[in-house]
């Protein structure tokens, strides 16, 4: 039986892309009787995959303001992991970028290198920490996992490493993301003041790289009648470097043309996706673009970027736009709301595409890598 030690510290924070990856893939891998999973949560180890391990966000924010927070955190983490593996013959799987030298095989996920390509879109402390440790993390890892071929090729080209050490394992939308009828979700939508198929939607952390500002600017170009008929709903936790975002939306919130929901529990997301008229995701750079796949699995037409990894998963079902071209995004919105046949085609193409991806398949590919080490 293969023993796998998993760094599950991201589950201590707010739900984001990496924590959702950990939850989804290890729920699947936990079904395999030939592997023994143990999770490290920063202050303790557990055999249980804990979906409710999050620490109070205000405490995390205080901690992150401590001088040398990232360095101190990683020193502690590496020491705890090293002590643990002294007693265990295992594989160490770190889903979160930075691993340290250990006397066991190491698998490290690098979901993107946006901190290198677009450092201006990240907090400086994070950029400094990642850029100072990423090369050593890659050098000591036996296998680097990426979510897309786009990021795989970026890593190989930028860091000049062997192609054999970098493996693409695509993500998936969980089974809960599925097409839902109005009767199934009306009560939840009513709680948010929403009407089935009468709103546009964006789901992401509120931070510059997600480029929600461009979507809003395209939205306010629409005729006033359309803005009132389809308010723009924005879902996501507060991120960083977002003063421009709030300056833009604050005067619009009173009109209720923009609705800012903030953090929404994971179990509510499928209903919000399924109830939307259009999902708009003009991100400047993505390592995969999971919300695009989730929205399409829920039967909602998608407008998204023609850059980075996104065309790899979305070019055959979404309206692809230049994320920095406001007119292009505007035209994408109008092309859907003015043509019902085109809308139906996008919905059907998205549903068919989503069937190609599953967390069971992602787990199976990951298990094959475990068995090679």
Domain positions in the chain are 2-172+358-372, 182-354
**Per-residue pLDDT, 82:** 84
Q: 2-172+358-372 and 182-354: same fold? A: yes
Please list the alpha-helical segments (H only) found in 86-181.
114-117, 124-140, 149-159
Q: Look up the pTM and report it.
A: 0.92
The class of domain 2-172+358-372 in CATH terms is alpha beta
CB 365 within 8 A of CB 34: no
Q: Decide which of 3.90.950.10, 3.30.390.30, 3.40.50.2000, 2.60.120.10 is the CATH code for 182-354.
A: 3.40.50.2000
Our CA dihedral for 109, 113, 116, 117, rounded to 10 degrees, sits at: 180
Average pLDDT by stretches of 10, the chain with 373 residues? 93 84 96 94 90 54 59 76 82 95 95 96 93 96 98 98 97 95 93 97 95 97 96 93 91 92 92 98 97 97 98 96 98 98 98 96 97 93
Residue 75 contacts residue 40 (beta carbons within 8 Å): no
Can you tell me which residue has the tokens 């993500």?
171
Quote the pLDDT of residue 56. 46
Answer positive or negative: Cα dihedral of 24, 270, 121, 209. Answer: positive
φ/ψ of 32, rounded to 5, equals -85, 125
């Amino acid at each position: 039986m293969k023993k796998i030690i998993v760094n599950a510290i991201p589950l201590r924070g707010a739900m984001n892309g990496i924590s959702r990856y950990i939850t989804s893939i290890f729920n699947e891998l936990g079904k395999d009787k030939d592997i023994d999973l143990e999770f490290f949560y920063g202050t303790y180890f557990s055999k249980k995959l804990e979906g409710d391990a999050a620490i109070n966000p205000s405490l995390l924010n205080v901690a992150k303001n401590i001088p040398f927070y990232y360095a101190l955190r990683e020193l502690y983490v590496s020491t705890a992991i090293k002590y643990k593996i002294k007693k265990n013959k295992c594989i160490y799987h770190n889903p979160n970028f930075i691993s340290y030298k250990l006397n066991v095989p190491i698998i490290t996920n690098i979901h993107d290198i946006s901190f290198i390509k677009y450092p201006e879109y990240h907090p400086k402390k994070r950029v400094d920490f990642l850029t100072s440790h990423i090369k050593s993390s890659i050098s000591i890892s036996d296998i680097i996992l990426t979510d897309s071929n786009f990021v795989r090729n970026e890593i190989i080209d930028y860091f000049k490493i062997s192609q054999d050490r970098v493996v693409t394992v695509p993500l998936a939308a969980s089974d809960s993301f599925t097409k839902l009828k109005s009767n199934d979700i009306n009560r939840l939508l009513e709680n948010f003041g929403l009407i089935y198929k009468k709103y546009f939607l964006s789901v992401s952390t509120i931070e510059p790289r997600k480029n929600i500002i461009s979507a809003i600017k395209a939205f306010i170009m629409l005729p006033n009648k359309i803005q009132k008929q389809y308010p723009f709903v924005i879902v996501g936790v507060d991120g960083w470097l977002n003063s421009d975002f709030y300056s833009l939306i604050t005067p619009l919130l009173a009109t209720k043309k923009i609705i800012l929901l903030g953090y929404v529990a994971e179990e509510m997301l499928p209903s919000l996706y399924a109830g939307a008229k259009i999902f708009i995701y003009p991100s400047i750079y993505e390592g995969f673009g999971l919300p695009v796949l989730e929205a399409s699995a829920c039967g909602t037409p998608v407008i998204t970027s023609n850059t980075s990894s996104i065309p790899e998963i979305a070019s055959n079902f979404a309206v692809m736009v230049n994320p920095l071209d406001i007119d292009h995004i505007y035209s994408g919105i109008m092309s859907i709301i003015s043509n019902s046949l085109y809308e139906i085609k996008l919905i059907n193409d998205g549903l068919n595409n989503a069937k190609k991806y599953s967390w069971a398949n992602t787990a199976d590919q990951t298990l094959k890598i475990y068995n090679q080490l």
